[in-house]
Amino acid sequence: MKKKHLKKFVSIFLILFLSILFIEFIFKIIAFSGIGIEIIRIILFDLFYSLIFAFILQFFKSFLAKIFMSFIVFIYGLYGILQLTFKNLIGNYMSLSASTNSGLARVQSQVKEFISCIKVEYSLLLLPFIFLIIYFIVRRRKYEHKKTTIKSFIMKLVVIIMVYILGYLTLIIPFFQNKKQIKSNLQLYKSPTLIELSLKQFGLVKFLERDIINMFSDDDSYELVIDKKNKETKKKVIDDEVVIDYERHIDDTKWQKKIDNETNQIIKDVHNYFINQDITNKNEYTGIFEGKNLVYIMIEAFDIMAINEDLTPTLYKLKTEGWYFDNYYAPIYSCATGESEYISETSIIPSSTVCTPNSYLNNNYSSSVFNLFNNSGYYTSSYHNWKDEFYSRTILHKNMGSQLYLDHDPLNIINHTGWPSDLELFQNSLEYYIDKDKFFTFVITSSTHFPYDYDTYLTQKYWDRVKGLPYSSNVKRYIAKAMELDAGIEFLMNSLEEKGKLDDTVFVLFGDHHPLKMSYSEINEASSYDRLENYNIDKLPFIIYNSATEGKVISKTASTFDILPTIANLFNLNYDPRDYMGTDLFSDSESIVIFNNGSWITDKCIYKAVNGNYVSLTDEEVTDEYIQRINKIVNDKFYISDKVLTLNYFKYKYN
């Protein structure tokens, strides 16, 4: 009897372990193109879960045991396919909480696009499930339901605990660590917010468990070490004479009193973090656009492919006659468009566990771009040519300070096949702000949104002009859509010129992400730089244009995080540079592009968090100390941004 029961336990264990391990190996090869030392940890954790499942299922009757085994193997295979498809569609892996918050709604509304992103090789993850079903059908073997002895029960528990301990030890044993890794494996285990790195280190099964636990826990184990800095006055020196005092004067007296009286230690730590950050000083660009209007345009999938001298002459004019940042990146976070927009409005790192703009609608946004312009006497408004289907902009924009937000229905946008017209968006929104004395206008476009793999109203509208281009059909359709965007911006510029307001209006154009659901090789066809190298797929156009200002190319490393503080300085708004994760790009502060997986880029190097490697961008030596210093800065920014969101921190600073 004992042997039969043990045989049942071993049989269930082997079936589950081999099936799960197969899924892990296939996922790892597809997702990370190889296997490293972390596979030992993954095998140990898979052993642990297989033993746990076998321990439980040994008490089930044969039929139920087979059903649950099949279900477990199917779920893990399906989960792997969902992760790979989500990555292929959005550019990131998914967290369950973020996906249920917004990602699944997007998938449900665009089922065709999601399914089309499933590659044939992903189906390999379901092979164990298929083989298991065939095995159970062909070999009609029954697992006898027998009672186990106390001794056997205890021995199995001991083995399970020992395997878990061995797996856990790989989180701390030096042999399994990479000192250049942005977070230690133990930190990732406690809080797997860097999803891609966590998937690589722990595998599908363990990451799924930690992701679920992270949904219901708030890990405060991160050690925040605050460097208190001496504030120095910075002055511009010419011919050994001090001619300009660039110090940005901020009185911290009231803030320091709040800190002294704060009883919540976490809030106090966040206060101390911010107050000890460098105050970015003023510079020769401070106030260069003071008092002018601003049209702030987030362009859907704005890519270098969209800029063509003949087909999109307005975009070409803005690029060549404006300030063009040729080293600008648009990192993609969990909810691609919504969180890029959120970054441009707040310069806060979004959460990886939820869809930030939907989950933190009612936070205090005193430091948002809308409120900065409100405080300077501007009329602020925002417009979009789609509905609140994915993001609750109607609520969020109001809470951020937009005095008016209008979208698809109130703007009377016509529904076409594919996404709406940006020309209509600019035409139908113009009347609401054109006659204001000073205006800040935020426009969120959509014409260049996928699909690119079949014809829509806009692609057909311009097809005769793009069909002869030497690119794939997907690229030609994208450029056709960009022509509608170009027509919209041309209309706006002409309207401002007729009103005599063009010289007094600044245009800021940036993209939320590269064209999704288009292969990197296709994007590379029409790009002026290699999009397959490093993070160049996320290197997008960023333009600041004013008709009265001479154009130039600016090569400082930049990202969406830097736009708000840069604009605040250019317009000489009353702001505290310490509130933001980005920096004024015209200052001498080091700018850091921060990706959702913990990777980063500075003027000095590109750091790849998934493997801990880096690429030097200068002849200057990149030391381990430099990597570790920037890693600490980035980790602190992730931690502080999370606390800003979850604590609704700015209500404590600005109440």
The CATH number of the domain holding residue 644 is 3.30.1120.170
Q: Which domain holds residue 258?
A: 254-283+587-655
Share of residues in the chain with pLDDT > 70 (%): 93
One domain for residues 120 and 259? no
**Domain-ending residue, one of 168, 190, 215:** 215
Rounded distance between C-alpha atoms, residue 294 and residue 381, angstroms: 11
Strands 605-608 and 439-444: unpaired
One domain for residues 259 and 300? no
One domain for residues 534 and 599? no
Please tell me what DSSP assigns to residue 17.
H
- State the pLDDT confidence band at 513, using cuts at 50, 70 and 90: very high
- State the pLDDT confidence band at 129, using cuts at 50, 70 and 90: very high
| 223-272 tens-digit pLDDT | 788 877 655 545 555 555 656 778 899 999 999 999 999 999 999 999 99
For the chain, what percentages of helix, strand and coil (3-state, to nearest 5) are there? 50, 10, 40
Phi, psi angle pair for 548, to nearest 5°: -95, 5
Query: Which two structure tokens, joined as six digits, stand for 606?
Result: 């590109």
| 414-457 tens-digit pLDDT | 999 999 999 999 999 999 999 999 999 999 999 999 999 999 99
CB-count burial class (<10 Å; 0-12, 13-18, 19+) for 228 = exposed
pTM given for the model: 0.92
One domain for residues 131 and 12? yes
Residue 513 in any domain: the answer is yes
Contact 142, 62 (CB under 8 A): yes
One domain for residues 14 and 118? yes
Residue 223 in any domain: the answer is no
Sign of CA dihedral 257, 263, 269, 270: negative
Residue 451 in any domain: the answer is yes
| 241-253 tens-digit pLDDT | 656 778 899 999 9
Residue 71 in any domain: the answer is yes
- State the pLDDT confidence band at 598, using cuts at 50, 70 and 90: very high
Count CA atoms within 13 Å of residue 112 on its CB side.
Answer: 6
Residue 188 in any domain: the answer is yes
Closest CA to 19 of 77, 98, 60, 65: 77
Residues near 101 by beta carbon (within 8 Å), at least 6 away in sequence: 335, 354, 355, 358, 359
Amino acid residing at 471: Y
Give the strand order in the sheet containing 542-545: 404-406, 379-384, 439-444, 293-299, 505-511, 542-545, 323-325, 552-554
- Look at the chain and report how many structural domains it folds into: 3
One domain for residues 264 and 339? no
Count CA atoms within 13 Å of residue 421 on its CB side.
Answer: 21
Residue 227 in any domain: the answer is no
**Domain-ending residue, one of 187, 215, 243:** 215
One domain for residues 123 and 61? yes
Contact 11, 173 (CB under 8 A): no
* Arithmetic mean of pLDDT, 483-493: 98
Residue 549 in any domain: the answer is no
- State the pLDDT confidence band at 144, using cuts at 50, 70 and 90: low
CA distances from 350 to 123, 217, 340, 356 (A): 32, 18, 9, 6
CATH of the domain at 422: 3.40.720.10
Residue 633 in any domain: the answer is yes
One domain for residues 372 and 400? yes
Q: What does 351-365 look like in DSSP terms, one character per residue?
A: PSSS-HHHHTTTS--
Rounded distance between C-alpha atoms, residue 640 and residue 22, angstroms: 39
Among 5-9, 10-14, 85-89, 460-464, top mean pLDDT goes to: 460-464
**Domain-ending residue, one of 215, 239, 271:** 215
Strand partners, 175: none
Q: How many residues does the chain have?
A: 655
One domain for residues 85 and 37? yes
Closest CA to 484 of 330, 324, 315: 315
Which region holds residue 91: left if phi is over 0, alpha if psi is between -120 and 50, else beta? left
Radius of gyration of the chain (CA): 27
One domain for residues 513 and 472? yes
Closest CA to 304 of 540, 112, 644: 540
One domain for residues 303 and 351? yes
One domain for residues 272 and 391? no
Task: Collect contacts of 604-610 with beta carbons under 8 A, ≥24 apart.
Answer: 606/534, 606/535, 607/180, 607/182, 607/631, 609/181, 609/182, 609/194, 609/196, 609/197, 610/32, 610/196, 610/197, 610/200
Rounded distance between C-alpha atoms, residue 579 and residue 229, angstroms: 16
